[in-house]
Amino acid sequence: MLLIFDCDGVLVDSEPLACQVDADVLTNLGLPYTAEDIARQFVGKSMKDMIARIEADHACTLPGDFAERINRTLFARFETDLKPIAGVRDAILALPHPRCVASSSVPERIALSLRVTGLADLFENVFSATQVARGKPAPDLFLHAASQMGVSPEGCLVVEDSPAGVQAALAAHMRVIGFVGGGHCGPEHAETLRQAGAPVVIDRMTELSATVQALA
């Protein structure tokens, strides 16, 4: 069985930082968003899809360097403030299965996230939504990861924190565990993931090993 981990909100507690940076940059451009707005609408989705949605919703064109502005500010915050999800390293090391990362973020952000949180050595194989035509909730990224790892979709188990990610895993015909231990997850988030189709939801990484074994 192949374990496929999302990065933001599953391996690293990045979403509160990222949502605030996105909101600040958009508000400075005259498009007022709160961090809560960003979390509700865009967590789990690619930058490309977020830009397309914002431009459609506001009938506007964002600056050509919008993504660069976001990443420049966010990467600086990551260097000083980003932390791993509590217990995630031990949880991963306790599992004997092959593993990889499949994230909506750009490769540079994933690499930085894993480096500053001390998790980079756990993953030889990292996949980004920039490598496929459609981001989550489409199944493309997870199917690409499975193909590159030489595993059938039915042999994969995905760990995801976003409704889009859960939907993508199910669309790829993979099993999925919802995770709600990130700093962006409010008390309603578990039910949101269940409504997206997650058959099981955990809120601590100490629960991961037993949950994986139950689903294997």
Residue 6 a catalytic site member:
yes
What sign does the CA torsion over 83, 214, 167, 193 have? negative
Cis upstream peptide for 137 (omega within 30°) = yes
Catalytic residue among 8, 13, 49, 161: 8
Encode burial over 86-118: b for 16+ CB neighbours within 10 A, e otherwise: eebbebbeebeeebbbbbbbbeebbbbbbebbe
Residue listed under structure tokens 């933001």: 8
Residue 65 a catalytic site member:
no
Catalytic residue among 6, 13, 49, 161: 6
Residues in a beta bridge with 157: 3, 175
Q: Which are the catalytic amino acids? A: 6, 8
